Amino acid sequence: MAALPTTKPQLERLLSARGWGATLLSAELAPKLAPTLTPTLTPTLANGSAPPARPHRGLTLLYPAGAGGGVTSAALRAAAQALAAPAAVAAWVDGTDALDPESAARAGLCLDRLLWLPAAGAPLAELLALTQMLLAAARFHAVVLDVLSRPVAELERWPRAAWFRLLRGLERHRRSQLWVLAPAALPAPSAVTKVAV
């Protein structure tokens, strides 16, 4: 009689050998390099070096590295990149009604395939609920949640569970990319890719 596995790696090897490897949580959490978004991010990502390797699960938090800005431009270009696929659609949850259609068009965004949700008056919880609905629809190549001009004090009350709900929504279909534009590096789980612009 074979010895029973006593450690986690032994158990995982045993399950994989018997065809149950897909049920392992570690298979879902295996590291994957984060895709670099746009040319504008390149200088600030790693100061000329390669972007850091970290698990990427479709959720990227963009925040300003300094006072120079550039977060909106980067997000617009990321959305434009997602819309480059034929018949792709994107959604922009605008927590501050700050989207300028002219700038978006100049960044190469196809406005006809953009769903814009201006939601300046909506509380943060509503914005998160809207984003979850968009992710659950699994029809959007890119979803942008813009809370860049929201007060930091409000964003500090961002529930940690919300990050996990968003990640779960992304994992369910694995079809959409979510970009969160925030004024600072919000406390977030390590599964969220944080990029300073």
Partner 1 sequence: MRYLCFLAADPAAARRLGRAVRALTPSAERGADCYLLDWRGLERLHGPAEAVARRLAVAGVHAGGAGRKATALLAARAAAAFGRPCILLLPGTEAAALAPWPLVLLAQTGDAATAEALAVLAGWGIRCWGELAALPAAELHARLGPAGLRLRALARGEGGAEALAARPPAVGRAVLRRELEPPLADGEALERLLARLLAQLARWLDRRDRLTDRLDLRLGCEHAPARCYRARFSPPLRQARAMAAQLQLALRRQPPPAAVTGLRLRARLTPPRPIQPSLFAAQESTAPAPEATAKFLSRLAARLDRRQDPALGTPRLVDSHQPGAFQLAPFQYPETPGLPPRRPPQSAVAEPPAVPRPAADQTPPPPALRAHRPPLPARVRLNPAGEPVAVATGSGPWHVIARRSGPWRSSGGWWAAADPAAALGTVPAAAPGPALASDSAAPPRRPPARETTFTADPRRIWDWEHWDVQVGTRRLRLRQDRRGGGWVCDGTYD
Residues 121-150 that bind partner 1 (CB under 8 A): 121-122, 126, 129-130, 133-134, 137-141, 148-149
CB of 157 to partner 1, least distance (A): 20
Count residues contacting partner 1 (CB under 8 A)? Answer: 75
Element (H or E) spanning 161, and its range?
helix 160-173
Indicate whether 6 belongs to the interface with partner 1 (CB under 8 A): no
Indicate the residue among 4 and 100 with the shorter CB distance to partner 1: 100
Binding residue for partner 1, selected from 8, 13, 106, 160, defined by CB under 8 A = 106
Amino acid letter at 134?
L
C-alpha distances in angstroms, 88 versus 19, 81, 117, 166?
Answer: 36, 10, 17, 21
Residue 181 and residue 71 in contact, taking contact as beta carbons nearer than 8 Å: yes
Under the binding rule (CB under 8 A), the answer on residue 34 touching partner 1 is yes
Out of 13, 168, 172, 174, name the contact with partner 1 by CB under 8 A.
174
Options 6-14, 119-127, 155-163: segment touching partner 1 (CB under 8 A): 119-127
Asked if 61 and 189 count as a contact pair (C-beta separation under 8 A), the reply is no
Closest approach, Cβ 131 to partner 1, in A, equals: 10
What's the number of CA atoms in the CB half-sphere (13 Å) around residue 11? 7
Per CB under 8 A, which of residues 44..103 are in contact with partner 1?
51, 53, 55, 57-58, 66-73, 76-77, 81, 85-89, 96-103
CB of 20 to partner 1, least distance (A): 14
What distance in Å separates the CA atoms of residue 59 and residue 45, rounded to the nearest whole number?
A: 16
Torsion of CA 177, 182, 187, 192, to 10 degrees: 10
Structure tokens at 55: 């698990």
Which of 44, 63, 116, 162: binder of partner 1 (CB under 8 A)? 116
